Structure 1
Amino acid sequence: MKKFSLLLVLLAAMLVIAACGSDDSSEGSGSGEGSSEEKTYKVGIDTTYPPFEFEEGGEYTGIDIDLINAISESQGFAIEFEPMDFGGIIPALQANQLDVAIAGMSITDERKKVVDFSDPYFDAGLSLVVSKDNTDITSLEDLEGKTVAVKSGTTGSKFAMDNESKYGYTVSQFEDSPSMFQEVSNGNADVLLEDYPVIAYAISESGLDLKTVGERLTGDQYGIAVLKGENADLLEKINTGLQELRDSGEYDEILNKYIAE
C-alpha cells in the first residue's frame, strides 16, 4: 500500500514538472517571436531609367525607389539597393545575389518562366503627344493627312511605320528626342509618338509645351519580381503593401511627384 501511495506521489510530481516545462517552452517561443530581427532583402535596380530609377545628389530616387521604400516600411522589412545594368538583374536573381527586382520591368510571358511578378504597378506603353493648344487630335483615327514625328530606331518609330497606311499619316524621322519635341512645339509636325513615362517625365522636368492625349497605344505593364518559386511570403507582402499604397492615395502622390499627365 505504501509503495502504491509513493508511486502516486511520484506520478503527480512528474505531471507537475511536465506542465511547468510546457509553460516555460510556450513562454520561450513567444519571447523569441517578439525579439526577431527585421529581415533585410537585396533589391536590384537600374539607375539609368528616369523617372523610375535614377541618381540625384548621390541618392537613389524615382518612382520605383519611392514605391519599394514605402512598401518595405509598411510591411516591416528592410531593403538594401543593388544598382546594376538592367540585363544583369534577372541573372542576379537566379544566382541568389538578389531577393527582389524593381527596374521598370515589363511583365512578359518569357520572364514569367524564371520570375514571379507582383501585381502590376504601372501601365506603360506608347502615347500620342501634341502641342498644349491642340484640340483636334485625341486618337489614331484623327491622324489622317497629319505629320507624325518619331525618333529613329525606337518602338514609336516601328509602330508609326507599321500603321502609316492604315491611318493615312506621314512619318517624319528624327535622330534625337529634343528635335522631335521641338518639331511638334513649333507646329511643323502635328503629333509625336513616345513612350509614356519618358515623355511624361520630360514634360514635367523640362516644361515642354506638349501634352499626352488619348489612350496608350500599347499595353506594357511593370511588375516587381522575385525568383520563380521562391520568396512567396515576400511577394505577398509586396502585393499587400502595394494595395495599401493605392488605397491610401500615396501611390498617386508618388506618381504625381515625377510624372505630369
Structure 2
Amino acid sequence: MKKLISLLLMSMLIIGVLAACGSGEESSSQGDNNDADAKVLKMATSGDYAPFEYIDTAKGDDIIGLDIDIAKAITEELGYELEIQDMDFGGLISALQSGQADFVMAAMSATDERKESVDFSDTYYTSKHVIVSKKDSGIKSADDLKDKKVGAQLGSIQEEKAKELAESTGYSYESRNRIPELIQEILAGRLDAAIIEDTVAKGYLEETKDLVGVTIEDADGGYAIAFPKGSELREAFNAELRKMIENGEVDQIIKKWFDAE
C-alpha cells in the first residue's frame, strides 16, 4: 500500500512539473507575440525639402529635418514607433487614401482643396513663396514672369500659386516631382524660373551663387499634418502638437533647423 501511495504521489508531482513547464512556454510565446505587435505608425514624406525633410548624405541615409523632429516627438509621446516612407510629393495624399501611410508630414499646406480629401492638424508653420531664377534673368517681381517658362513642385502649394499667377501674368507653366529637378532646369536654361517655398529656396540660393530669389505674398494656409478622413489619430496628434507649441518646443525645433541651414 505504501508503495502504491508513493507511486501516486510521484505521478502527481511529474504531472505538476510538466504542466508548469507548458504554462511557462505558453507565457513566453505570448510575450514574444506582444513584442512583435508593437504599435508602428507609417509617416509618408518627400525627402527633398530642406530644412523640413531631406537626406544629408555626408551624415547618412536617414531622412532628417524639422518635420521629422516634430513627428518623432509626437509619436514617442503617444507610445508609437515611427516608420518613415519617402515618396514624390504628388503621391502623398494618395498614399493616405490607399492606406499606405497613417499620416503625412511634408511641409504640406492645409488648403481648402486638400481638405476635401484628407483631414489636417492645427498649423505648425506658415511660409512664403520665392521666385527663383538666374541672376541675369531680369526677374524682379511676379510681373516680370510674363512670357517666361516657370516651374513648381508637383502637388505643392507653390504649384497652385504658379497656376494662379500664370492666369494673371501670362506665362507657361511646368511641374516637376522634386525641388532639385527645378533648380537643374533653371541652371540648364529649360526653365526661366521656379516658385519655391522661402526657407527651402534659401538653402539653394546660398549654395548656388548663380541664382537669385524674389519673395512674393504669403502662402495660402500654413503647414499641417495630414491624416486620412476620419482618422482617430488627428485629435491625439493635435493635443500633443498644441503642448509643443505652448511650451515652445516647436519654436526650438524651427530655430534649430533654420540655423542649421
Whether TM-score is above 0.5 comes out as yes
| Structure 1 position 50, deviation (Å) | 2.8
Secondary structure class of the residue paired with 2:108: coil
Secondary structure at the aligned position of 1:103 is classed as coil
* 3-state DSSP of counterpart to 1:119: strand
What are the ranges of 5 or more consecutive residues in structure 2 without an aligned counterpart? 1-37
Counterparts of 1:171 and 1:98 in 2: how far apart (Å)?
34
- Alpha-carbon offset, residue 223 of structure 1: 0.9
Q: What's the CA shift for 1:217?
A: 6.4
Separation in structure 2 between the aligned mates of residue 103 and residue 214 of structure 1, nearest angstrom:
21
1:165-190 Cα offsets, whole Å, 9 max, x none, are 5xxxx77989963242465xxxxx9x
Q: Look up the match of 2:168.
A: 163
Between the two proteins, the alignment pairs up a number of residues equal to 203
Gaps of 5+ in 1: 1-38, 184-188
1:257 counterpart (240, 257, 260):
260
Matched ranges for 1:239-250 at <5 A: 239-245=242-248, 248-250=251-253
Q: Secondary structure at the match of 2:216?
A: coil
What is the CA deviation profile of residues 159-213 of structure 1, one whole-angstrom value per residue up to 9, with x for unaligned ones?
Answer: 4532235xxxx77989963242465xxxxx9x73322255334334x33333433
SS at 1:212 equivalent: strand
Percent identity between matched residues is 20
Contact 2:66 2:254 (C-alpha < 8 Å) held by counterparts: no
| Pair 1:242–1:152, CA change in 2 (3 A) | closer
SS of the residue corresponding to residue 122 of structure 2 reads coil
Q: In the alignment, which of 45, 61, 64 is matched to residue 67 of structure 2?
A: 64
Whole-angstrom distance in 1 between the partners of 2:174 and 2:62: 36
Q: How big is the alpha-carbon RMSD for the aligned residues of Structure 1 and Structure 2? A: 4.4
Q: Residues 257 and 220 (structure 1 numbering): CA distance in 2 closer, same or farther, change over 3 Å?
A: farther
Please state how far the C-alpha of 1:153 moved relative to its aligned partner. Answer: 9.5
- The answer for the alignment partner of 2:45 in structure 1 is 46
Residues 228-239 of structure 1 correspond to what in structure 2 (within 5 A)?
228=230, 230-231=232-233, 232-239=235-242
SS, match of residue 118 in structure 1: strand
Partner SS for 1:253: helix
Match of 2:204 in 1: 202
AA aligned to 2:220 is G
Is 1:107 aligned to 2:110, yes or no?
yes
| Higher alpha-carbon Rg | 1
Superposition TM-score, scaled by structure 2 size:
0.56
CA drift at 1:61: 1.5
Relative to the length of structure 1, the TM-score reads 0.56
Aligned partners of 2:241, 2:175: CA distance in 1, in Å?
A: 41
Q: Match of 1:215?
A: 216
